Structure 1
Amino acid sequence: MFSRVWSRAVLGVDALPIEIETHIEPNLPRWTVVGLPDGAVRESRDRIIAALTNSDLPRPRGAITINLAPADVRKEGSAFDLPMALGLLAATGRNGPLIAPEVLDEIVIVGELSLDGSVRPVRGVLPMAAHAAASGVRAMVVPKENAPEAAVVEGLEVYAVESLREAYTFLAEEQGRGVQFVRQESPPHARGDRLDDFSDVKGQEGVKRALEVAAAGGHNALMVGPPGSGKTMLARRLPGILPPLTNAEALETTKIHSVGGMLNGQARSGLVTERPFRAPHHTISNAGLCGGGSNPMPGEISLAHHGVLFLDELPEFERSVLEVLRQPLEEGAITIARARATVHFPARFMLLASMNPCPCGHAGDPHKPCVCAPGQVQRYLAKVSGPLLDRIDLHVEVTPVPFDDLNRDRPAEPSTNVRERVVAARQRQAERFAGTSAHCNAQMPARDVRRYCKPDAGGLALLKAAIARLGLSARAHDRVLKVARTIADLAGASGVSAEHVAEAVQYRSLDRSGWGMG
């Protein structure tokens, strides 16, 4: 007997069709899986046999050959358990197949089996569902926990199953008629009450303003200040002023988190509804930050796609790890090449970093003297290379909060007010870049910088003087203009004036020779 079942495999954030062919001969018992299966796929034999037995379903007898096509693509993971088990049932039966072949031709099936026959969630269901819908597939059978993310895809019927028995009953007895999973609507921009509000931060109005500019234009930012000045506290509150995810951004973000195995039914609507905020520890490796492995998985920069990557204590990261950020910061994506495959992961994120001004942390502190030798300070600052620093738009000095600000009863401005201004500025940028790949000023290509960021005569003279004094690179020149354009957008101005350029230039503090990092 012969059967054919369709499934999907994930490669990067995309999917490819997998045809599972099952052939059973009335011969001595034998089980063979071909088509470059990995260890998890080969071990599926024991899971499938136990699941069939505990589900009171017939166990196939004879010589079993299962082919996973295309045969030149390595098959990895446990998502093929359920389709392989159903393929065995479809190829079993003395009076004809237990499952009609025409039903299996119209459905994509994924899922991992437990020994008791229950179905467990798998990674990457959203890109699988998107590929299935684009291929003209009518329906998809998925584990119940994966149903919300699969149902995000329009034009695809999604059927959620909790056990092998339920999947078999649906396909064999109902012949493709069952209870379809209904997506629970929840707008991507829905947000609950946040506990991390800007109003909790006393003082630091200048730093708050810099973060508002960064959020409005999608700019990278670096905060430099002594310990306890509020750098981490401010960073944790940045997501509260970011604009909501658009439907397209939510779908892209959810795809990456699905591949990374970070959903599994956690998002009620199936979509990631808030911009990611990733804060890896400074001991992270290259692969952990950028992605990798024999079967490449997304790293922190991809998990932060359309969100924020926060690197606390920036110089404590290995320099080799920080240097791999240079290409993704420019291109918004990273390509990981391995012997088995080359995959492409999106990585369009805001980089937010913090650091102390010296190893002891008190250089420039008016209250505590610095005990570091000049050479120690230079070596510490040199851990952040000039090319990486050049790609950071805003350099913000964070000073200790005065006692009067700490004990002031007047409440600070809440995040909701700041966010309204950020959303208004982003709306102006969305209209400006309509029909292009850019979504905010930070993503503006060089040709658009000359078109949209040209300052007036006063601003041009100020920019020329700043370049001569600070020795800014061509990249830094463009980034200053982009920040000035964002400041103008926050002010609702149509053009870039000297006032906007002046504020943008002051955010390049680490380009000054006093920091030793020019």
Structure 2
Amino acid sequence: MGYSRTSTICMIGTTGIVVTVEASVFKSASKGSEAVRMSGLPDSVVNQAQTRVRSAMANSALSFPDKSVSVNFGPASLPTTGSAADLALAVTIMCADDMVPGHRLDGAVLLAELGLDGSLRSVPGTLPALMAARQAGLTTAIVSPENASEAALVDGMTVLAPRNLATLVAWLYGQTELEPAVPAEPASVPKIPDLAELRGQPTARRALEIAAAGGHHMFLLGPPGAGKTMLAERLPSILPPLSDTEAVEVTSLHSLRGRFTGGSAELIRHAPFEAPHHSMTMQALVGGGHGHVGPGSLALAHRGVLFIDEAPEWKRTVLDSLRQPLESGEVQIRRANVSIRYPAKVMLVLAANPCPCAPSKPHDCTCPARNKHRYLSRISRPLIDRIDLRVDLPAVPASAILADQVDAEPSEPVAKRVATAREAAAARWAEAGEAWKLNSEVPGPALRSAKWRLPPKTSRTADELLMKERITARGYDRILKLAWTIADLRQHGMPTAEDVTAASELRLGYTIT
């Protein structure tokens, strides 16, 4: 009886778990080959791997053992999903049957799908998987050529990328050498739309800066052509670049979605921007699905911007699925025997036309008042209550469009002010012994505590709105958070009455008289 084992990685959300693939090959009392018996908790894709392995070996001039083969995926209590274990399964069976030597696999992790022709094919999540492997002490990664560039991003690992199973077998015998993959040369910095391209809308530009400085959610309401999409697309240009830790975190999520397959890969250093279509399903937005559970657009926008255009056109249940993740900063997906979490700290930007007919000029609207109300009420009040600020955008005048010279402020100086305000907020909360980085992350009770409560004269505008029931308790807390952000941008030590009033007007979407 022969026995062997190798290592692969199973992803549960963003967490990689080292899986030991064990194989035992022995002569059976009955004649002929038998199906591979698998134990553990393999899903249907893993169970079908024996078909891929048999064909891959046959097309690589290798013979599948004409014996009984038992395979175990351990820990046996861990659900093993996807096709990433194909290569480990094939190599383990061959080593157990003494077809190939296994000494060169010490400290190695195998991560690739097998094609029927024996080729190594890409799998999603290579970056976070190999980071988990490195943390577990594994030093060599064997992946598909399509994943080589992504795998090379992991420091401290030797990455080998044979093109097929036959080449890997030749390497195991020492008949050929594999050149370790190296990180791809950094590509040119991607061009991000700049605020200088935006005409008019001074109020909206100021609101965008405040939202960026504090990480606040926005609601843009205006006619077609007012610049809602242009504003949202330019929000990443004034956000700070991602730190090393954040870049790895964001890139790992995009890796799990398979966005680096077949091309060069490098860490995402800028805030991501996701703009899903209104026909998107709930699973595509927040994550999930049958079989393989992957991150949705919400998680892919982590540390960046999620833009929901034409918000009233979305299914209400789909939009409402954002409510809990916006509060917690993460997506939780529960299955029968596993709970999956994806980080989802996003800046949400909702956009909508004021009515169904959506004329370019307000006086051209033919919608009755009840139709306008019904249209906007498709966005539920609980979701709207989680939006920090609202901006009503007027139509852009023709003079602004036709002007030869534009004095619009570009993104660079705005980004510097945003960075300065964020640094001030982070320093304040760190000095207080708190882990919050942005004002939007501060819990309302903390801002209402004795330590941070504003004097009555300062908070009077917000207090009156609350007492008159024009805002909810959550709305009151959001105004306080906005006020602290405005104060940081204005370089005030703490919010003034003017800051609170400005925050209240941004929350309501109109001037308080």
Q: How much does 1:462 deviate?
A: 3.0
Query: What amino acid maps onto 1:99 in structure 2?
Result: P
Query: What amino acid maps onto 1:426 in structure 2?
Result: R
Which of 281, 284, 289 aligns to 2:280? It is 284
Structure-to-structure mapping, 1:54-453, within 5 angstroms = 54-93=59-98, 98-100=100-102, 102-173=103-174, 179-184=179-184, 186=186, 191-194=189-192, 196-264=193-261, 266=263, 268-269=265-266, 271-295=267-291, 296-362=293-359, 368-411=363-406, 412-434=408-430, 436-450=434-448
Structure-to-structure mapping, 1:13-52, within 5 angstroms = 13-27=14-28, 28-35=32-39, 36-52=41-57
Task: Say if 2:389 and 2:509, in contact at 8 Å, map to a contact too.
Answer: no
Task: Say if 1:31 and 1:65, in contact at 8 Å, map to a contact too.
Answer: no
> For residues 46 and 228 of structure 1, what CA distance do their matches in structure 2 show?
55
Farther off after superposition, 391-400 or 45-54? 45-54
Q: How much does 1:277 deviate?
A: 1.1
Q: How much does 1:88 deviate?
A: 2.2
Task: Say if 2:219 and 2:389, in contact at 8 Å, map to a contact too.
Answer: yes
Give the count of matched residue pairs: 503
Q: How much does 1:126 deviate?
A: 2.2
Structure-to-structure mapping, 1:477-488, within 5 angstroms = 477-488=476-487
> For residues 61 and 363 of structure 2, what CA distance do their matches in structure 1 show?
74
Q: How much does 1:481 deviate?
A: 1.3
> For residues 186 and 458 of structure 1, what CA distance do their matches in structure 2 show?
54
Query: What amino acid maps onto 2:87 in structure 1?
Result: L
Farther off after superposition, 430-439 or 337-346? 430-439
SS of the residue corresponding to residue 127 of structure 2 reads: helix
> For residues 210 and 448 of structure 1, what CA distance do their matches in structure 2 show?
24
Task: Say if 1:456 and 1:497, in contact at 8 Å, map to a contact too.
Answer: no
Task: Say if 2:142 and 2:159, in contact at 8 Å, map to a contact too.
Answer: yes
Task: Say if 2:214 and 2:482, in contact at 8 Å, map to a contact too.
Answer: yes
SS of the residue corresponding to residue 363 of structure 2 reads: coil
Q: How much does 1:299 deviate?
A: 1.7
Q: How much does 1:265 deviate?
A: 5.4
Point out where structure 2 has 5 or more consecutive residues left out of the alignment: none
Task: Say if 1:31 and 1:64, in contact at 8 Å, map to a contact too.
Answer: yes
Q: How much does 1:457 deviate?
A: 5.9
Task: Say if 1:453 and 1:485, in contact at 8 Å, map to a contact too.
Answer: no
SS of the residue corresponding to residue 368 of structure 1 reads: helix
Deviation string 1:465-505 (CA, Å, 9 cap, x unpaired) is 34345622221111111111111222222221122222211
SS of the residue corresponding to residue 7 of structure 1 reads: strand
Task: Say if 1:4 and 1:105, in contact at 8 Å, map to a contact too.
Answer: no
Task: Say if 1:394 and 1:508, in contact at 8 Å, map to a contact too.
Answer: yes
Q: How much does 1:91 deviate?
A: 1.9
> For residues 169 and 444 of structure 1, what CA distance do their matches in structure 2 show?
58
SS of the residue corresponding to residue 459 of structure 1 reads: helix
Distance 1:449 1:146, change over 3 A: farther
Farther off after superposition, 237-246 or 306-315? 237-246
Task: Say if 2:87 and 2:114, in contact at 8 Å, map to a contact too.
Answer: yes
SS of the residue corresponding to residue 477 of structure 1 reads: helix
> For residues 415 and 169 of structure 2, what CA distance do their matches in structure 1 show?
50
Under a length normalisation based on structure 1, what TM-score does the superposition of the two structures give?
0.89
> For residues 21 and 88 of structure 2, what CA distance do their matches in structure 1 show?
8
Task: Say if 2:65 and 2:97, in contact at 8 Å, map to a contact too.
Answer: yes
Query: What amino acid maps onto 1:207 in structure 2?
Result: A
> For residues 403 and 468 of structure 2, what CA distance do their matches in structure 1 show?
39
> For residues 80 and 285 of structure 2, what CA distance do their matches in structure 1 show?
25
Query: What amino acid maps onto 1:31 in structure 2?
Result: A
Task: Say if 2:46 and 2:83, in contact at 8 Å, map to a contact too.
Answer: yes
> For residues 118 and 21 of structure 1, what CA distance do their matches in structure 2 show?
22
> For residues 333 and 322 of structure 1, what CA distance do their matches in structure 2 show?
16
> For residues 160 and 431 of structure 1, what CA distance do their matches in structure 2 show?
45
Deviation string 1:19-39 (CA, Å, 9 cap, x unpaired) is 211222234311214134333
Point out where structure 1 has 5 or more consecutive residues left out of the alignment: none
Distance 1:206 1:329, change over 3 A: same
Task: Say if 1:80 and 1:112, in contact at 8 Å, map to a contact too.
Answer: yes
Identity in percent: 38
Q: How much does 1:224 deviate?
A: 0.6
Query: What amino acid maps onto 1:252 in structure 2?
Result: E
SS of the residue corresponding to residue 298 of structure 1 reads: coil
> For residues 398 and 120 of structure 1, what CA distance do their matches in structure 2 show?
49
SS of the residue corresponding to residue 80 of structure 2 reads: coil
Q: How much does 1:321 deviate?
A: 1.4
> For residues 5 and 163 of structure 1, what CA distance do their matches in structure 2 show?
18
Q: How much does 1:240 deviate?
A: 1.6
Distance 1:374 1:244, change over 3 A: same
Farther off after superposition, 455-464 or 141-150? 455-464
> For residues 512 and 391 of structure 1, what CA distance do their matches in structure 2 show?
20
> For residues 508 and 45 of structure 2, what CA distance do their matches in structure 1 show?
53
Query: What amino acid maps onto 2:79 in structure 1?
Result: R
SS of the residue corresponding to residue 31 of structure 1 reads: coil
Task: Say if 2:505 and 2:511, in contact at 8 Å, map to a contact too.
Answer: no
> For residues 392 and 163 of structure 1, what CA distance do their matches in structure 2 show?
51
Distance 1:130 1:32, change over 3 A: same
Farther off after superposition, 1-10 or 71-80? 71-80
Query: What amino acid maps onto 1:290 in structure 2?
Result: V
Task: Say if 2:466 and 2:473, in contact at 8 Å, map to a contact too.
Answer: no
Under a length normalisation based on structure 2, what TM-score does the superposition of the two structures give?
0.90
Query: What amino acid maps onto 2:503 in structure 1?
Result: A
Farther off after superposition, 386-395 or 411-420? 411-420
SS of the residue corresponding to residue 354 of structure 1 reads: strand
Task: Say if 1:191 and 1:273, in contact at 8 Å, map to a contact too.
Answer: no
Calculate the aligned-residue CA RMSD, in Å.
2.7
SS of the residue corresponding to residue 146 of structure 2 reads: helix
Q: How much does 1:140 deviate?
A: 2.1
Distance 1:34 1:274, change over 3 A: same
Deviation string 1:104-157 (CA, Å, 9 cap, x unpaired) is 342111101223322111012222212222222232222233234334444433
SS of the residue corresponding to residue 237 of structure 1 reads: helix
> For residues 48 and 279 of structure 2, what CA distance do their matches in structure 1 show?
34
